[in-house]
Structure formats: C-alpha cells, structure tokens
Structure 1
Amino acid sequence: MLSYRHAFHAGNFADVLKHSVLHYVIGYMTEKDKAFSYIDSHSGAGMYQLLGQYAQKTGEYKEGIDKLIKIKNLPQLLADYVSLINELQEEQKLTIYPGSPAIAKQSMRKQDTAQLFELHKTDFDLLSQFCSQWRQANIQNKDGYKGLLRQLPPPSRRGVVLIDPPYEIKSDYQHAVETIINGVKKFATGTYILWYPVVTRSYIDKMAEDFIDSKIRNILQVEFCLNPDAEKYGMTGTGLFIINPPWKLKSLLEESMPVLKQHIGNSSTQSIVTQLVAE
C-alpha cells in the first residue's frame, strides 16, 4: 500500500517510548570500542519538521515529546533521550524531531555502520538527503524484511536491528516476528527491537506466543497504553519486544513508565515491563 507517512505521527507518545529505548541501546553499544552495525528495516524520512503541514495537521507531537521536553529531573532513560532532542533544536525551540536513523546517527561513531531500508519513494528521497553526508550509512529503496536478513551476521558480529513497520497490512505482525526469528538463527547475539501498535489485542498476544514458541531466549516486553483496549479501530497503546536487551534496560524502563504516565498519560493509562522469556 505504501500510503503511510510517519511525518503525521513524529514525536508522538509511541515515538517517545521507541526512541528513548533505541537511544539507550545504541549508546550501550558504543561503550565498547569495537564497531557495530545498525540495521533499520523501515527507516522513514530521517528527520521531521514539527512545524510542517503533516505534523501540524495531527498535532500528535504536542501530546508526546512536546510535553516530556518541558519536564525537569527525569529518570536516566528519558533524560538522556530529551537531551538528544534538545541538542538538535535551534534557538531552544522544538521545531524538528529525529526519526530512528537520526536517533542512531547522533551516537554512532566513524567505525560504526548503518544499513537503512525504506520502500516509500518520497520518504526514501528525503532519507537520502538526510544521509548525504553520513558516509557510514547505506540507504536502499528495498523491502526491509528481506534486506536486513541479508545483512546478518554483520562483519563486526555486533549489531542492533530495529523493525518498525507501519502495520498497514495485518500480515506485518506475523512477518515482523518471523523476520526476527530468522534473524536470530543467523545472528543470535544481536539486539533486536520490534515496535508494535496496540490496535487489536489478539495480534499482540499472537506475537508474544510466537516468540515464546520460537525458543529464543532473553526477550523483554514493554508496553505503554494511553487507554484501555478497544474494539473500535484506533491505536490505544504502543509496545516493544526487545531481544537481548542491555542488562540495565528493564530497571530503567520500570522507573520511566510511571513518569510517562504522569506527564503524557491519563487516569486510564497502563504500562507493563515484563521479561517475556528468561535469559
């Protein structure tokens, strides 16, 4: 279908969770001098203009990063993420929001490489412009599911994989899980981050069941739901499955989720941080 444009949703509550985790994981990888690879299956445009027509049409960022960025004394996971967002702004005003490639680029070093996939032609062109001076990035206008599997294992044998599909079609739920299962068979020590929207609970339950049945070890699940599950169409929450997470990530999320509820959520907001599969 390829009608999805993340520019409408950049900086929303789902991005806050996804990108705070991604930023921490990338930072964790840089604690060792050895190079690593970042592989992004659905990269989007790279950078988004919050004052542009798309973000202004929905205003979703106003209920996400715009609220969080004003809060003082945040826990480490959120404070480091907000610091990154602030570094990118001009005149201390929130005008742009980084997509996942830009989040990664801020922390990656000369020895690290990025493999970025994006099928939407318009966003691919924007991504190419964003990456024009990023020599370590390889951008491809190809299917990210297939593309990332071809990159495994990376030459460095260290890597972070982000799968962040738009879920325009229902098969994305199963396809994303299967891609990670196949990826782990090729590269068992990588860190894999799978984002999902909470729209239909049965799809999420099936994803979790498939991961458990796969016999993959060390899977962390985090979920942040603004509102209770609903039968009608619409995203009520957001979540991540994280395979081989950094050892401190679970505790950092546990201290961060109440803060997200307080400043972004409401009285109906719920969250979970659970070790879906033990190490």
Structure 2
Amino acid sequence: MSVQWFPGHMHRARKQIALVMAKVDVVIEVLDARLPGYSENPLLRELRGGRPCLKVLNKSDLADPAVTEAWKDFYRTQGAVPMEIVGTSAKDAKRILAVLPGMVPPRNFIMQPVNCLIVGIPNVGKSTLMNALVGRRVARAANQAAITTKQKRVHIGDELTIYDTPGVLWPKIENEEASYMLAASGAVRETAMDNAEVAARAGVYLLREYPELLQARYKLTELPAGGLELLEAVGRKRGCLVKGGEVDQDKAAGILLNELRAGQIGRISLQKPPKAKKD
C-alpha cells in the first residue's frame, strides 16, 4: 500500500526550500529516532546536494537506545553528523548550536553568519526543536502532522541564522512498510490510512521485535499469532467490546497506536538501519 498525501502547502514548501537552499551552509534534518530512514525525505536529500548535514534523531527518549546507536554509526558512514536529542531539551538545543559552526570552513562568523535550514517531514518535532534552539516560541508545535505551513527566518545571536520550513512529505510513499510505520509513528494524518490496518501492521512488527514489552504492557499470558489477533487481545484486555461481545477493532487500534506513540509500551524503534554490504 502506498500513501499519496501532498497538500497544496507542501508543494509550495518544496519550492520555497529549493529557493532558500542557495543561501544555506548547513542543513539540519530532523528525523524521528524511532524510524530515521523512513522519516528521511528523498526530495530534501536531492535539494540539499553536497551541503553538510546534521542528522538530528529527535524523540530519542522513545526509541530503542541500541538501535539508535546503530543508526548513528550508519549515518557516520554516509558522511553525515548524527546527534540524538529530545527536542524539548534546552541542553540538547545548546549541543546543536555548538556543533553547527564547526561544520563549515573557518571564517568570520560575525561578518558571514552560518545560514542553517531546518527541515523534516511532518510530526518529527521540528517546530518544537526550533523553539528550543531560539529559546522562545517562534513556531507552533503540536503532536500531529502538518502544523507549520509557512517559512520563517530567525537570527540566533550574531553568528547563526536558521530558516524554518513546513514539514514536507514526498508526493507518494511507495514503500509499503514505510507507509505503515510512518502512520504508526503519527507522521501521516489518521485520515490518510485505516487505523486498524496500521495498528495490525505495527502489531506484527512489535510481536517480532518487542514481544516482551507487549506482554508486560497488556498482561498477555501468551503472544497472539498476528497483528489482528493482537488487536483482539488488546481490545479484550481494555474492554473495547460491542454488542455480542465482539471487539471494537478501531478502539483497540486507537489504544495500541496511542500508547506506542507515547512510549507507554516501552522504548521502541520501528526501523533498523541497513546492514553493511559485504565486499
């Protein structure tokens, strides 16, 4: 299943990013630490060209720490600078600001400030991070997709300028697994995909990668066989029943997805980095 979700403001945002990129020294790409590869936008990679890139793995407090370390190793092999953060952390914001000047050739930064572009797909926490970097609210932040709709430019001291942009998804997500995992993470509006399908697909992954966390969270005596069976079990445990004692799959799906996104099941990564190719 592929997702086509490209509101008009996203088309405009792509054009804006292309125009401002000529002025940019460093790209700050905000990724969801739970699925860094799926939350990369190939359009942004194309527009960035050879500019230095700081790969910010946000929401790292929700992701599996071991998997996050593996992603950082992977990005280093790609020539990028990875950094795991929590977007609301002032300490992490200072770490980002400290590393940016070192990503460009030495120069008089007062005379020629470092121009940075902060980019990312919807709901990776880009606006929250922007507010933390600036130290005040300059971007509307919310835990749902497609909130920022206009570009902003903010000066941070005399040496840094940061351009903020709307979150941009690419026109069509062809990778089926990426579609479901992005939806499970909250990057795609719930109206774009069927909630029960998304939850069932995420459930298959969770049963394979994090069975102990599922058992502990939902007090399961034995693991269900698949995603739909997991929804059935969660629904019965949480009382999501309709007339006749059947499980309301939509309610059960809502519970599973909301608790997954909130980190209540545990620290979970929804994607692992590609394995290194053997010579």
Q: TM-score, length-normalised on structure 2?
A: 0.35
Q: Highest Rg: 1 or 2?
A: 2
Q: Is the strand fraction higher in 1 or 2?
A: 1
